[in-house]
Amino acid sequence: MQLRIASVVAVSTLLGALFAGQSNAAGPVTATVNLTTVDGKNCTITTEDPDGLHLEPNGTSLIASLATLTGDGCGTGGGTGGANPPTTPFVLTPSPNPLVANVDQPFTVSWTLAGGVAPINCSGAFTGAPAGALMSDWVQSAPAVIGANSRQITPVAADQGGGASAVTFSLSLTCSNADGAITSAAIPITINPVNQGGGDNCPANRLTKANLCYRNIIGTCTTDGGADNLTTFPIWLGRYADSSGTLTPTAPPYLDFPGPTGGGPTFSISQGQYISARFTVPTGVTVGRIGKFTKAFGNISNYTNADFSISTECGDFDSAAIGPSCKGLNVPNDGVGIRWRIDTTTSGYCRLNRGQTYYLNVRPVGCTNATCQLRIDG
């Protein structure tokens, strides 16, 4: 590809002397500069300007105006040479789509890069957000690969502005390597306001974050080291600790419903609080598949019994819309809270329909301490 641009090339005093008379030459001038980059690539600059090749008055910059550039070392406006930036365009795909998020609830943005050479890093940007918005999970620079990429973002109250109304602004992403950079088209994002239940129009006293402790087969505790978001299924039940105590998966994205079997986390909760984790049954899950959520036992003191429900409403334990098979009351240690089955009505099993969004609701029963321990397994 040939690009007609104005090019500025820094040269030595010796080159300045060689070309000193060029700018005063009479008549049209066609001049060629052959460059070799530090990585051995080539760039040829040919001017068609009558005064196309001359030195700046400071004598250190050689100017080639109305120039044509050819070669693999001409770059794309920056870098150390080469012409292999990630290929444009690329498209951001949010999940859910269209993107409507809630404070403290993670969502995922995916994209695919083609062409280019590694290493590649991608940094996000946003426009139209409230003053003081952070979007820290998005704007950070992180490595990317040629092919499929994704990033999980969790809005915080500052991103929404802390007001009573939803806000809408735009996200974009710039991916770059040593040869150049490309930027995606912007996508709109709407963030719902914080409320007493932490989003999703939940009742008050919803526990939205906790430090999760995963127990392996020999009873030791593997703590993931942070205050985890309990409002969606992947963060709460999308990981497990194997026999060595290693968390699997080791990093996001974690497993969505139905998640792994066993190995769920232990966490602290107070009487009067509850957890409500949103999940959507995948459309590709097998009809008739069965599973369960269990009130598991652990070696930490202050364990408590629990109530379970699966409902289309957040924090719903008691409404008439919940069938008897979709709730379990005062479930003890090692007791099954709810058995479920996909797209099939069977006695003793909560029917979950593919493509439908539900909430797994859990609350302690009979906790008399300041906090008690719960462990829920898939």
Cα distance between residue 317 and residue 310, in whole Å: 8
pLDDT tens-digit readout, 303-353: 788 899 999 988 899 888 888 999 999 988 878 889 999 999 999 999 999
User: 10 Å Cβ neighbour count for 344?
Assistant: 14
- pLDDT number for residue 205: 84
Q: Is 137 helix (H, G, I), strand (E, B) or coil?
A: helix
Domains of the chain with CATH codes = 3-70 (no CATH), 93-192 (2.20.130), 209-377 (no CATH)
- pLDDT number for residue 61: 66
Cα distance between residue 66 and residue 3, in whole Å: 10
Least confident of 58-62, 88-92, 134-138: 58-62
Rg of the chain in Å (alpha carbons): 30
Enumerate the β-bridge partners of residue 307: 363
Q: Are 229 and 235 in contact (CB under 8 A)?
A: yes
Q: Are 313 and 319 in contact (CB under 8 A)?
A: yes
Residue 105 pLDDT more than 50?
A: yes
Amino acid at residue number 192: N
Supply the DSSP string of 167-203, one letter for each residue.
Answer: EEEEEEEEEEETTEEEEPPPEEEEEEPP-TTSSTTPP
- pLDDT number for residue 310: 93
Residue 13 pLDDT more than 70?
A: no
Token reading at 144:
């990317």
- pLDDT number for residue 236: 82
User: What is the average per-residue pLDDT within 277-285?
Assistant: 89
- Residue 67 — pLDDT band, cuts 50, 70, 90? low
Nearby residues of 184 by Cβ (< 8 Å), 6 or more positions away: 89, 90, 91, 92, 111, 172, 173, 174
- Using alpha carbons, select from 208, 212, 209 the residue that is nearest to residue 375: 212
Answer with the residue of higher pLDDT: 14 or 48. Answer: 48
| % of the chain residues with pLDDT over 70 | 72
